Amino acid sequence: MLKRRTVTSDVADFIRQKIIDGSYKGGELIRQEALAAELGVSRIPVREALLQLEAEGLVTIHTHRGAMVAILSPDDAQEIFEARALIEPFMLNEAMKLRTPADVLAVQQVLTRYENAIKNDAGPEELSSLNWALHVRMCEPAKRPRMMAILTSLHNSADRYLRVQINVQEARQRALVDHRNIVDAYAKGDTKKACKLMEQHIRVALDEVMQRLKPLSPGS
Q: Please count the other Cβ atoms lying within 10 Å of the Cβ belonging to residue 63.
A: 5
Structural contact between residues 87 and 154, judged by C-beta atoms closer than 8 angstroms:
yes
pLDDT at 122: 87
CB half-sphere exposure, 198, CA atoms < 13 A? 28
- Backbone φ and ψ for 60, nearest 5 degrees, come out as -115, 125
Q: Any alpha helices (H) in 167-190, and if so which ranges?
A: 169-188
List the one residue out of 175, 176, 189, 174 whose CA is nearest residue 138.
189
d(CA 114, CA 187): 17
Please give the Cα distance from 14 to 21 (Å, whole number). 11
Return the pLDDT at 206: 93
Which of 49, 66, 60 shows the shortest CA–CA distance to 11? 49
Closest by Cα among 75, 62, 67 to 19: 67
Domains annotated for the chain, with CATH where assigned, are 7-69 (1.10.10.10), 74-216 (1.20.120.530)
Going residue by residue through the chain (220 aa), what tens digit of pLDDT does each one get?
444 458 999 999 899 888 888 889 888 999 999 999 999 999 999 999 999 898 888 899 988 788 999 888 999 999 999 999 999 999 999 999 999 999 999 999 999 999 999 999 888 888 888 999 999 999 999 999 999 999 998 988 888 888 777 666 788 889 999 999 999 999 999 999 999 999 999 999 999 899 888 755 544 4
Give SS3 for 69: strand
Which residues are bridge partners to 67 per DSSP? 30, 61
CA distance 121 to 194: 27
